[in-house]
Amino acid sequence: MLQEKDLLGIYVPIITPFDEEFEVDAASFYNQSYNLFQDEIDGLVVNGTTGESPTISQDELGVLFAAAQAAREAAHADVPIIVGTGTNDTRSTVRKTEEAGKLGAEAVLVVVPYYNKPSQQGIIEHFRRVAEVGVPVILYEVPHRTGVTLELDTVRSILDINGVIGMKDSTPNIELVTELTRLGSKPVLCGEDTLLYAALQAGAKGVMSASANVETEKFVSFIRSFVEGAHAQSHREFAELLPLIRLLFQEPNPAPIKWLLQQQGVIASGALRLPLLPVTEGLQAKLAAYL
């Protein structure tokens, strides 16, 4: 099981490839997982938002997790596999967390309940119930997707729960990680890719980056440079990655990532499940120019 002290470095929420019939493409998923493990990431997240989690069934999740495990073994990687289990229903989230534990997940990534707009206390109780399952929980705060912003005291209360080992912070600035660092909280991973460098400077222990599905070795090098204290080098490396990051978020994630990976031959198809659509021709041209 993942522990608080292990929550550092670079974690990648992997895409979920589909074939032209919109079925899970386990072979392409294996290829991408293997590549990520070979590039020495610190953690893999299966069934996160980048993996189109709202469209993935429990049976499909089992297929994906088995493929990730096989890729990890083939790559001889000692890297934790985390599963996204968060929903806007506490009972469903508890059940999915139990199922993830049975699959062998080292931790679960649990998003703040969306759409319902619960109270701050309701959100705390949601995480308390999920943590009772016994699988380590990573809080995922992403207000532009959930429609609710956690107050600082709420975040601290959730992080104080036994079994919650840290958080992914996808808020639009570094204020939260700055305050949590000042107060000595459990580790924070930055999930807002344009803020990766600033968040590390503010005290984040690592990143959970969708963009790192492509050019993974460059993201790993950037993190390693920062951790080793080579801040001038890490700043330069991040500046070189920033144009790619901006391109990858010009249209809804993970469409641009999938298009690039298909062009590179890593996955067979860039297909997405509705309501997500493939990238437009205009963005394709920009991505092709980047390549």
DSSP structural state of residue 89: S
Peptide bond into 275 cis (omega under 30): yes
Q: Which of 96, 168, 186, 258 is catalytic?
A: 168
Q: Which of 140, 197, 205, 258 is catalytic?
A: 140
Contacts of 116 (CB under 8 A, 6+ apart): 88
Annotate 95-151 with DSSP letters as a single string.
HHHHHHHHHT-SEEEEEPPPSS---HHHHHHHHHHHHTTSS-EEEEE-HHHHS----
Known catalytic residue: 168? yes
Helical pair 281-290 and 231-248, crossing angle rounded to 10 deg? 150
Known catalytic residue: 5? no
* Amino acid identity, position 94: V
- Distances 90 to 87, 138, 270 between C-alpha atoms, Å: 7, 15, 32
Q: Any binding-site annotation on 194? A: no
Question: 10 Å Cβ neighbour count for 224?
Answer: 16
Q: Which residues are annotated as a binding site for pyruvate?
A: 50
**Bind-site residues:** 50
Q: Which positions are catalytic?
A: 140, 168
